[in-house]
A and B are shown apart, each in its own frame.
Chain A
Amino acid sequence: MAKLTFSGGIHPLGKKSATKDKPLVTIEAPELLYFPLSQHIGAPLKPLVSVGDKVLKMQKIADTDAFMSAPLHSSVSGKVKDIGMYLNHTNSKVPTIVIENDGEYQDAEPIHTKSIDDLSPDEMRKIIREAGIVGMGGAGFPTHVKLSPPEDKQITHLIINGAECEPYLTSDRRVMLEMPDDVIGGIRCLMRLLNLSKCYVGIEDNAPEAISILQEKTKNTGIDICVLKKKYPQGSEKQIINAITGKEVPIGKLPMDVGCVVINIGTVAEIYRALAQGIPLHRRIVTVSGDAVRNPSNLYVPLGTPFNALVDACGGTKEETHKIIMGGPMMGIAGISLDIPVVKGTSGLLLFSEKYAHNEAEINCIRCGRCVSVCPMKLVPTTLDMYSRKGDTETLIKNNIMNCMECGSCTYVCPSKRYLVQSIRVGKQKINALRAKEAKN
């Protein structure tokens, strides 16, 4: 079959060899675990426990009435030690529940006990929300929201995103290799939930083992394993939709507007565990890599574990760390401390030595056009950069700046080392601030 892809994009060094063949290592929960009440986009949560309370493993500890959010569960049993302000993955101090691990791992009741085949679509949606499931690829969009399209929107394509296009990261690959039955079980549930007879799984051609395992197991099931070209950002929602279905999500619209739902492969496995066994999302796979890490690994980590414990589990550092990245090197956020805990969206933790930590000084744009040819959203990054620096929001809007998904491809290729997406981001923030102000008046 021809390999599918989108137009534009870049080919950064994969850097996956350090961890791609390393089986998952489950790590022990540390003594103290931190559960920030802002884990992802959506409303912050309210704690359901108080300081001094005893909690069980997988017990719901925070929730909200807001639809655009998902509850949070403890990954250990123990005592609530504190509810206070601690660092989260956005480098800010936010309300956080701190739980002292009693080491006994007493489980709470499963979130439901029905047989998986008896669940109605609505029950499934409820369970998925109740299990706290959000997109595990990084953005953390609450999954039940994606699965609840408004009446007038017909979902025709279910796409499972196994295109792990960020360099270094291998957690999705390990899910496919080590939990293929959970993945396929989850896909079956979603097909039933959305009343679809077909599903597409997009996997990049640099994961042939994963492709063959899933192909083997999905014969005659209506699940179509689509081999995608290895290219960044193949795993971006709009790009994977384009590669597989040929559709373009219109500017400012959502995948569901073209009848598509895209779910990350790790999320699918969690969905299966929630529906089949009543297990809420309380741990995840984190790829720990980067040149400063002694023993790069794929860890299966209880949520709330501080990064320090992950680094220790990888044999510590072999070089002085100068940069911490949460997520992948293209879109991840640089962290200020290893005290930050793993949240639902933490797909990777990269530690870079001085050699990789610095970005170079920029020089003038020489108009080579590379940023234009790689931009998957077909923008002209150098022009956006220019107007962003001038603060000309009107022209920026005309040039579709809001369509930029901040994939960083433009900055990656620029031979003049210009901080393109960084300056575009500033422009977008300015426009958002203006709009918020207008909305208020």
Chain B
Amino acid sequence: MENMIVSSSPHIRDRDRTSHIMRDVCIALVPALIASVIYFGGRAVYITALCMIFSVGAEFLWQKLTGRPVTISDGTAAVTGMLLAFNLPVSAPWWICLIGSVVAIIIAKQFFGGVGHNFMNPALVGRAFLLASWPVIMTKWSAPFTTGFIIPADTVSSATPLAIMKGSLEGTLPGIFDMFIGNIGGCIGEVSSLALLLGGVYLVIRKVISVRIPLTYILTVAVLTFIFPSVGLSGFDSMMYNILSGGLFLGAIFMATDYVTSPITARGQLIMGLGCGILTFVIRRFGAYPEGVSYSILLMNVATPLIDRFTQPKAFGTVKEKKGGAQ
């Protein structure tokens, strides 16, 4: 009887675990990946695989070199790689994937102490870095059905709907239905709102995310762009083009909901969605960039600790005339 295991309660645990959650996120991203293969060809898979390998590899090497426990099995690096790829144009060269992964994993995540301690979404930091350093490569959108398999074909570049709306690029706006299913130019994972929505529904059903952030985010953008339409567009068209393009669904469903960098409380998540929505609208309408989703989310990431502090739940049994605090 001597070898009894003595540990402090509770003695049972839920079976769900972080790696399962990350696996669910990857599964939820598959429809969008399939959509991008349809539009951009096998190269979409190649870029995604590269980013995942580089991200996981960067985490592994960094942890080995610094003598820390290797945590790649938690699946967070794989998700980061996948999300980074989804934010790249399909014509991106391999070294863009490498640099983006290294920045995302090592600078944005490991420098701050690894999973859970980073305060900005690693994939978005990677993307923002790449966009600032290689703007031409990063905005070379391929039109659907024009790319090669592994070697980028000399792609027919295409202007994104938002750039056209903003008047910074020439072109005709695609139809709303084409935008919904993803038959437009854009990053690998952002084009098909339909596929992203499918993934989002899966995540909500699996209770990985709640609808709070995505719904408030998309609704806020919808309402604002409806009330204040872009020049020359009806309120409805302006709303539809705005919510169906520029990676709003990808950002709202998969990036703004990143656990680590979004508020932990229900009320905080509503504020996150609202804030992202307002910022996206402001950047798109008044800023220099046509898109704005990434920067809005990054800004709200920075505000998250503050939001958490102010939305802390009221402890059970808190009395109105607070006297003397807890005992």
Contact = CB atoms under 8 A, between A and B. Distances in A.
B155 interface: no
Contact of B317 (A91, A251, A398, A417): A251
Nearest to B6: A334
B152 interface: no
A410 B68 CA distance: 27
Contact of A366 (B260, B265, B316, B318): B260
Interface in A338-353: 338-339, 350, 352
Contacts of A167: 12
A93 interface: no
Interface in B27-69: none
Nearest to B315: A400
B71 interface: yes
Given A411-B10, A415-B20, A252 B4 contact: no
Could you say which of B12, B312, B318 has the most chain A C-beta atoms within 10 Å of its C-beta? B12
A363 B57 CA distance: 19
Interface residues of B, number: 42
Interface majority SS on A: helix, strand, loop or mixed?
loop
Contacts of A356: 11-12
Given A329-B12, A403-B317, A422-B8, A366 B325 contact: no
A253 B318 CA distance: 11
A252 B327 contact: yes
Contacts of B327: 251-252, 402
B114 A251 contact: no
A85 B56 CA distance: 57
Contacts of A373: 266
Given A367-B264, A415-B20, A421 B9 contact: yes
B14 to A, nearest CB: 5
Contacts of A325: 9, 11
Interface stretch (A153-161, A223-231, A376-384): A376-384
A335 B260 CA distance: 37
Given A251-B318, A252-B327, A372-B313, A334 B17 contact: no
A382 B264 contact: yes
B237 interface: no
Nearest to A396: B326
A215 B10 CA distance: 34
Contacts of A238: 316-317
Contact of B5 (A339, A357, A403): A357
A65 interface: no
A380 B313 contact: yes
Could you say which of B4, B10, B17 has the most chain A C-beta atoms within 10 Å of its C-beta? B10
Given A364-B115, A367-B116, A251 B1 contact: no
A13 B1 CA distance: 28
Contact of A337 (B1, B21, B116, B260): B1
Given A330-B12, A380-B264, A366 B315 contact: no
A322 interface: yes
A333 interface: yes
Interface in A407-441: 408, 411-417, 419, 421-422, 425
A185 B1 CA distance: 43
Q: How large is the interface on A (under 10, 10 to 19, 20 to 34, 35 or more residues)?
A: 35 or more
Contacts of B10: 329-331, 408, 411-412, 421
Contacts of B4: 321-324, 334-337
B316 A248 contact: yes
Contact of A413 (B9, B14, B317): B14
Contact of B260 (A367, A376, A406, A413): A367
A84 B182 CA distance: 79
A397 interface: yes
Given A329-B10, A367-B260, A372 B317 contact: no
Contacts of A366: 18, 21, 74, 76, 115-116, 259-260
Contacts of B315: 251, 377-379, 400, 403
A180 interface: no
Contacts of A252: 317, 326-327
A358 B5 contact: yes
Contacts of B316: 238, 242, 248, 251, 376-378, 403
A403 B326 contact: yes
Contacts of B14: 10, 12, 412-415
A100 B7 CA distance: 33
A373 B266 CA distance: 8
B16 interface: yes
A363 B69 CA distance: 10
A86 to B, nearest CB: 15
Interface string B87-121: 00000000000000000000000000011110000
A421 B12 CA distance: 13
B3 interface: yes
A357 B228 CA distance: 61
Nearest to A322: B5
B319 interface: yes
Given A252-B326, A372-B264, A333 B259 contact: no
Given A334-B5, A366-B259, A417-B17, A400 B326 contact: yes
A352 B11 contact: yes
A400 to B, nearest CB: 4
A323 B8 CA distance: 11
B16 A415 contact: yes
Given A378-B316, A397-B326, A416-B18, A425 B114 contact: no
A220 interface: no
Contacts of A422: 8
Contacts of B266: 373
Interface in A103-161: none
A332 B326 contact: no
A213 interface: no
Nearest to A377: B316
A384 to B, nearest CB: 11
B6 to A, nearest CB: 5
Q: Which 5 A-B pairs have the closest CB atoms?
A: A252-B327, A408-B10, A364-B116, A400-B315, A251-B317
Given A364-B115, A422-B8, 8 more contacts: A167-B12, A250-B318, A322-B5, A329-B11, A359-B13, A368-B18, A373-B266, A419-B8
Interface of A: 10, 12-13, 91, 167, 238, 242, 248-253, 321-325, 329-339, 350, 352, 356-360, 363-369, 372-373, 376-380, 382, 397-403, 406, 408, 411-417, 419, 421-422, 425
19 contacts: A10-B14, A251-B316, A329-B12, A331-B9, A335-B6, A337-B1, A356-B11, A366-B74, A367-B262, A368-B21, A368-B259, A369-B264, A372-B313, A378-B313, A379-B315, A399-B312, A413-B14, A421-B8, A421-B10
